[in-house]
C-alpha cells in the first residue's frame, strides 16, 4: 500500500480530533510534514517536582518494598505477587475485581486500596521497586 494513501486515511481518521498526541519530536515533525495538524507532544516522563525521593519514607524496612499501582484483576497475574514473601514486602495500591480474593490468598501483602495525590506520591517514594503488570 502506498505510504501517501496510508497517511491520507490517517489524516481523515485523526482530523476531527482536537489534538493528536505523539511521543517524540521526530514523530511530530514527520506527521506535520505529511499534512497532520494539531500534533502535540505527550510528555510521559516523571514529574520530578511531585515524585521526589527526598520524601520521608512510610517505613524504614531493611527488606525491599515492591509496589504495584493499578487495576487488580485476574489478567494482571497478581497470583505471582507473593512468591518470595520473605525477601520483600509487597504493597498493592488500587482496586479491581480480584482484590478481595487476592488479599485473602496473600495475607502478607498489603492491599491498600485506591490512593491519589500526596498520599500516592509518598508510597512511590517509600518503595524500592515498582512492579508493572501489562
**Model pLDDT, residue 99:** 92
**Model pLDDT, residue 58:** 55
For the chain, give every domain's residue range. 3-41, 65-131
22-46 exposure pattern, b = at least 16 Cβ within 10 A, e = fewer: beeeeebeebeeeebeebeeeeeee
As a whole number, mean pLDDT of residues 123-132 equals 83
More confident residue, 66 or 44: 66
- Other beta carbons within 10 angstroms of residue 106's beta carbon come to 18
pTM equals: 0.58
Encode pLDDT of 14-65 as tens digits.
Answer: 989 999 999 889 999 999 999 999 999 987 666 666 666 555 555 566 788 8
Amino acid at each position: 500500500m502506498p505510504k501517501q494513501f496510508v497517511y491520507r486515511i490517517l489524516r481523515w481518521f485523526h482530523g476531527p480530533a482536537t489534538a493528536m498526541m505523539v511521543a517524540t519530536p521526530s514523530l511530530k515533525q514527520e506527521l506535520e510534514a505529511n499534512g497532520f495538524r494539531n500534533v502535540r507532544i505527550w510528555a510521559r516522563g516523571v514529574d520530578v517536582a511531585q515524585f521526589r525521593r527526598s520524601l520521608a519514607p512510610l517505613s524504614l524496612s531493611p527488606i525491599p518494598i515492591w509496589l504495584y499501582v493499578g487495576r487488580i484483576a485476574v489478567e494482571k497475574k497478581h497470583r505471582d505477587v507473593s512468591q518470595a514473601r520473605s525477601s520483600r514486602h509487597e504493597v498493592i495500591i488500587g482496586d479491581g475485581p480480584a482484590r478481595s480474593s487476592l488479599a485473602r490468598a496473600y495475607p502478607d501483602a498489603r492491599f491498600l486500596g485506591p490512593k491519589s495525590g500526596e498520599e500516592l506520591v509518598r508510597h512511590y517514594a517509600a518503595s524500592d521497586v515498582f512492579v508493572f503488570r501489562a
